[in-house]
Structure 1
Amino acid sequence: MTQRMTYPFAAIVGQEKMKLALTLNLINPTLSGVLIRGEKGTAKSTAVRALAEILPEIEVVRSCPFQLSLNSERDVCRECARVECRERILKGEPVETLKRKIRVIELPVGATEDRVVGTLDLEHALKMGEKRIEPGLLAAAHRGILYVDEVNLLDDHVVDVLLDSAAMGINTIEREGVSFSHPARFTLVGTMNPEEGELRPQLLDRFGLCVHIESLQDPEQRVAIMERRAAFDEDPESFCRQWEGASAQLVREIENAIQLYPRVTVDRSLFFEIAAYCLDVGVDGHRGDIIILKTAKTIAAFNSRTEVIREDIDTAAELALPHRMRRQPLQDIVMDVKSVRRNRNQG
């Protein structure tokens, strides 16, 4: 069976903010994900799947439903009573591992809480007298990407669970008096069409970054989209080979940024600049300040720098503040943060 080719991330035309927001979240998962707002047919799902395809492989314990690495969270396997490696771990014997691509786990709109979080296998508990956890989508998404299309149509409670796990990096299953936790560190990507309704402000605030994308209006870019897509459909392998160099370069930049991020410093004067940004545009709470700081450091690392500059703060604010600014009832999310700040200061 021929393997299905994935459209290269580097070949996507335009939508630079979306591509930057996705890349930054992969460098620094503590940014708490990205919400992509915009109409259909603007390469949202294409970008997510393509980015996962070019990332380095990860090492996982074979047959582990929690995507665990060999050197971390072994206690999860001891509690699970389901993984094939359990007996080996308890005896201190070697455990078989394998390397595979980072996965994109898609969450269907109609997903129930049990499907997302996981549940207790009651039949096994009754027959064998021991607990066994049936992992949910959050377990499958650990160390990967959780993609939620039309996130605004999900049940609010399910969205709360997703955002809590994304923020804390842990998922807890509590059923029939049994409590079980496992790692759930993933890059959360939500997409939505604003015409179908907005998320509640409390939920919007939980997404680290937010971008709004539209159909490209430049004829040259629209023609480039058609040409590239036609070439990909006609000969996917040849088309992907043409973009191998650009894809490999992006991988190197991401890997370098991950290594560089812990060494990035921020001058204290820029902390005041971040605070002024949030106060000037009317942001409630302090999550926006913290996300801008993390985003600016990630941008600096992505640009191979160990010191944040003013331009990093500006770019970070454009990604971290649009969905956090105070708005009038029925007012749409304002995406031009710098203009809002300038107008309010002039006023």
Structure 2
Amino acid sequence: MNKIQSQTRTVFPFTAIIGQEEMKLALILNVIDPKIGGVMIMGDRGTGKSTTIRAIADLLPEIEVVVDDLFNSHVSDYDLMSDIIKQKIEQGMNVPTEFIKVPMIDLPLGATEDRLCGTIDIEKALNEGIKTFEPGLLAKANRGILYVDEVNLLDDHLVDILLDASASGWNIVEREGISIRHPARFVLVGSGNPEEGELRPQLLDRFGMHAEIRTVKDPYLRVQIVEQRSDFDRDPYSCIQKFQDQQNQLKDNIILAQNKLPSVKIDYSLRVKISEICGALNVDGLRGDIVTNRAAKAFAAYKGNDEVSVADVKTVIKLCLRHRLRKDPLDTIDSGSKVEQVVDRILVQDL
């Protein structure tokens, strides 16, 4: 077995995925800046949603975590550190670390609240005075990706918990007057088929971005996709080796963008234009403005630029706003086209 076979899981390479550029861009931008708020991917069955999401997780650089910590705690960032590790560091104790793959956690449809949030052993707490916490999926997903397939079929109560944890970066479990909290910073990725039902608008609004994907119609492109997948199924390690240079290049670009992001600027006049677009589209609240600003800066960083351009905004704004528009059942224009029309009208003078 060669080196790549021993070190690499057989996950379809992200750079080998053909088409679906909108979905891939949304995932990359959320990885560069997790504060964008995750991405909702809606599309037909069999369009590579799950494959793409697992591929981006496998592509990411390893993260440094505290050894044997339940929450993948960072060794120096307090926002990504459990209370136990904070106490050890404050007491000057030695905290060993290791590097692990970015966690990729699947939330099954039948999951309970305890499975998601974790549980406290009440009996041991009352009888022995010891807080024993059994971590849930939110703990395991800290500093990683939490993937919910068919999120539109998930219980609304669990969706609320997910979105609250994603927004705050913390999970709090309270039972019988006993409370435990831990960091829960993750990129929330949901996917679903619109034929199986829509998310409530107020929940959809909480996802930072919304990508729509469709089945490829071009027969030549379909053949290319089928051949690519067949090659991987027949010999996954050769396929991974074939795309290794492209994978490494994309990984390097993401790391550079993450480091560059804090220094990227967006001109005041361009921020005003973004808010003007949100106002013209009657977008409720300010999430649309905030997410568009964040996504545009992440895209500029990804391109290696120091300042956001009008073109950067035009590239990301549809992903940030299309799911925030009020739906008119009699409207024949889809929300993405509506966003594009307003954007072209307001930003055309700046090109």
Task: Give the TM-score taking structure 2 as reference length.
Answer: 0.90
CA-to-partner distance for each residue in 1:83-110, whole Å, 9 max, x for gaps?
A: xxx8x66863323321110011000111
Partner of 1:142: 142
CA-to-partner distance for each residue in 1:251-303, whole Å, 9 max, x for gaps?
A: 01100100111111111110121012112222111110111111111110011
Rounded Cα–Cα distance in structure 2 between residues aligned with 1:316 and 1:342: 11
Partner of 1:335: 336
Shift of 1:187: 0.3
Cα 1:69–1:330 change in 2 (3 A) is farther
Task: Classify the secondary structure of the residue corresponding to 1:335.
Answer: helix
The correspondence of residues 13-52 of structure 1 with structure 2, limited to 5 A, is: 13-52=18-57
Task: Classify the secondary structure of the residue corresponding to 2:182.
Answer: strand
Rounded Cα–Cα distance in structure 1 between residues aligned with 2:344 and 2:18: 32
CA-to-partner distance for each residue in 1:120-169, whole Å, 9 max, x for gaps?
A: 11243245321111111100000000000011111111101111111111
Asked if the contact 1:232/1:239 (under 8 Å) is kept, the reply is yes
Shift of 1:39: 1.2
Asked if the contact 1:281/1:344 (under 8 Å) is kept, the reply is no
The number of residue pairs the alignment matches comes to 338
Task: Classify the secondary structure of the residue corresponding to 1:253.
Answer: helix
Asked if the contact 2:82/2:182 (under 8 Å) is kept, the reply is no
The correspondence of residues 62-73 of structure 1 with structure 2, limited to 5 A, is: 62-73=67-78
Which one of 76, 83, 91 corresponds to residue 76 of structure 1? Answer: 83
One-letter amino acid of the structure 2 residue matched with residue 247 of structure 1: Q
One-letter amino acid of the structure 1 residue matched with residue 99 of structure 2: K
Rounded Cα–Cα distance in structure 1 between residues aligned with 2:187 and 2:271: 26
Asked if the contact 1:166/1:188 (under 8 Å) is kept, the reply is yes
Task: Classify the secondary structure of the residue corresponding to 1:247.
Answer: helix
Task: Classify the secondary structure of the residue corresponding to 2:10.
Answer: coil
Rounded Cα–Cα distance in structure 2 between residues aligned with 1:191 and 1:22: 12
Rounded Cα–Cα distance in structure 1 between residues aligned with 2:91 and 2:245: 46
Asked if the contact 2:314/2:343 (under 8 Å) is kept, the reply is no
- Give the RMSD, CA atoms, in angstroms: 2.2
Partner of 1:225: 225
Rounded Cα–Cα distance in structure 2 between residues aligned with 1:139 and 1:290: 27
Deviates more, 1:224-233 or 1:8-17: 224-233
Shift of 1:343: 9.7
- In structure 1, stretches of 5+ residues that fail to align are 80-85
Deviates more, 1:290-299 or 1:128-137: 128-137
The correspondence of residues 233-252 of structure 1 with structure 2, limited to 5 A, is: 233-252=233-252
Partner of 1:312: 312
Deviates more, 1:200-209 or 1:128-137: 128-137
- In structure 2, stretches of 5+ residues that fail to align are 347-351
Asked if the contact 1:299/1:312 (under 8 Å) is kept, the reply is yes
Rounded Cα–Cα distance in structure 1 between residues aligned with 2:303 and 2:338: 22
Which one of 6, 19, 25 corresponds to residue 11 of structure 2? Answer: 6
Rounded Cα–Cα distance in structure 1 between residues aligned with 2:85 and 2:63: 22
Partner of 1:299: 299
